[in-house]
């Protein structure tokens, strides 16, 4: 899966005025202390709606009262803002700063609102914060990997394909086809039979869902898997 790595220093307020004081408004800031803040992406992403290739970059900001300018730059050998060149900028965009209730003594960067294909990078210091939206297209990468494996792998990833097509691609028919093939390869896979039953229920095939759930229930009992016994019993009750 995609990953993002941050490398940054964490200065403290030490009872100083931070923005508009220690960090002047309208001036380039290293967004931390000491060396430049670096951010590494394992996959291509979009930041604030702008495309960015995989790689490692320097993250600068220009704080202002009503807006911050965020700069993604290629100057990896810079020290702080020394050596910064505008010609090495890759992205520039503006975000709105937010006032926060509780004072943050130490400059903090963290990821929030994390979802399979998106997150926000939050920067917080003193009583000011900004949020930078980041997205990536993992879905298409997964699709290519799964479709390639279904074509070339000796052991076909039918179980993984079924989950992808059902949960990511919202294609229950394709999911049903793959989970059925997975069950043919592994007839005692009670977890796949339960998954098949749920897909059949979603597709309106109540009789098929009951049959799959009964098979899964019997196999789960043989395997002494109480969790799957319970899940199958609950599904069968819902199908009456």
pLDDT in tens, 17-41: 999 999 999 999 999 998 889 999 9
Q: Pick the last residue of a domain from 114, 135, 156.
A: 135
9 and 112 inside one domain? yes
Strands 98-115 and 89-95: what pairing? unpaired
The residue range of the domain holding 142 is 138-238
Can you tell me the distance from the alpha carbon of 71 to that of 77, in angstroms, rounded to the nearest whole number?
16
11 and 129 inside one domain? yes
150 and 114 inside one domain? no
Determine contact, residues 212/189, Cβ cutoff 8 Å. Answer: no
> Confidence band (pLDDT; 50, 70, 90) for 161?
very high
11 and 127 inside one domain? yes
pLDDT digits over 135-159, tens only? 998 888 889 999 999 999 999 999 9
CB atoms within 10 A of CB 227: 9
149 and 165 inside one domain? yes
Concatenated DSSP letters of the chain: ---EEEE----B-TT--TBTTTB-TTS-B-SSSSSPEEEEESS-EEETTEEE-SEEEEEEEE--SS-EEEEEE--TT-BTTBT--GGGEEEEEEE--EEEEEEEEEEEEEEEEEETTEEEEEEEEEEEEEEEEEE--HHHHHHHHHHHHHHH-SS--HHHHHHIIIIIS--HHHHHHHHHHHHHH-TT-HHHHHHHHHHHHHTT-HHHHHHHHHHHHHHHHHTT-HHHHHHHHHHHHHT-
Determine contact, residues 190/182, Cβ cutoff 8 Å. Answer: no
Q: Pick the last residue of a domain from 110, 135, 160.
A: 135
122 and 146 inside one domain? no
> Confidence band (pLDDT; 50, 70, 90) for 1?
low
Q: Which residue has the higher pLDDT, 232 or 116?
A: 232
116 and 203 inside one domain? no
Residue 2 has pLDDT above 80, yes or no: no
Residue 207 has pLDDT above 80, yes or no: yes
Q: What angle do CA 35, 51, 144 make, to 5 degrees?
A: 115
> Confidence band (pLDDT; 50, 70, 90) for 115?
confident
% of the chain surpassing 70 pLDDT: 100
Q: What is the domain-level CATH number for residue 159?
A: 1.25.40.10
Average model confidence (pLDDT) across the chain: 95
- 152-168: burial string, b at 16+ Cβ within 10 Å, e else: eeeebbbbbbbbbbbeb
59 and 165 inside one domain? no
33 and 124 inside one domain? yes
Q: Pick the last residue of a domain from 91, 117, 135.
A: 135
Residue 87 has pLDDT above 70, yes or no: yes
120 and 147 inside one domain? no
178 and 87 inside one domain? no
49 and 101 inside one domain? yes
pLDDT digits over 167-192, tens only? 989 999 999 999 999 999 999 999 99
User: What is the domain count for the chain?
Assistant: 2
The structure's pTM equals 0.70
């Amino acid at each position: 899966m995609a990953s993002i790595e941050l490398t940054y220093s964490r200065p403290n307020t030490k009872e100083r005025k931070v923005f508009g004081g220690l960090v002047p408004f309208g001036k380039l800031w290293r967004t931390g202390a000491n060396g430049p803040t670096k951010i590494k992406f394992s996959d291509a992403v979009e930041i604030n709606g702008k495309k960015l290739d995989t790689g490692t970059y320097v993250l600068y900001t220009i704080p202002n009262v009503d807006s911050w300018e965020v700069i993604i730059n290629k100057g990896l050998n810079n020290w702080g803002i020394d050596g910064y060149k505008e010609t090495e900028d890759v992205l520039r965009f503006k975000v709105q700063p937010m006032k926060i209730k509780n004072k943050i003594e130490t400059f903090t960067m963290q990821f929030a609102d994390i979802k399979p294909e998106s997150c926000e990078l939050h920067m917080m210091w003193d009583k000011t914060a900004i949020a930078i939206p980041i997205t990536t297209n993992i879905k298409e990468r997964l699709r290519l990997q799964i479709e390639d494996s279904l074509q070339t792998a000796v052991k076909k990833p039918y179980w993984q394909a079924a989950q992808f097509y059902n949960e990511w691609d919202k294609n229950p028919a394709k999911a049903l086809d793959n989970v059925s093939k997975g069950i043919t390869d592994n007839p005692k896979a009670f977890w796949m039979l339960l998954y098949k039953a749920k897909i059949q229920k979603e597709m309106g095939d109540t009789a098929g869902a009951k049959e799959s759930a009964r098979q899964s229930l019997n196999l789960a009992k043989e395997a002494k898997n109480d969790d799957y016994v319970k899940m199958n019993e609950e599904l069968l009750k819902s199908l009456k």
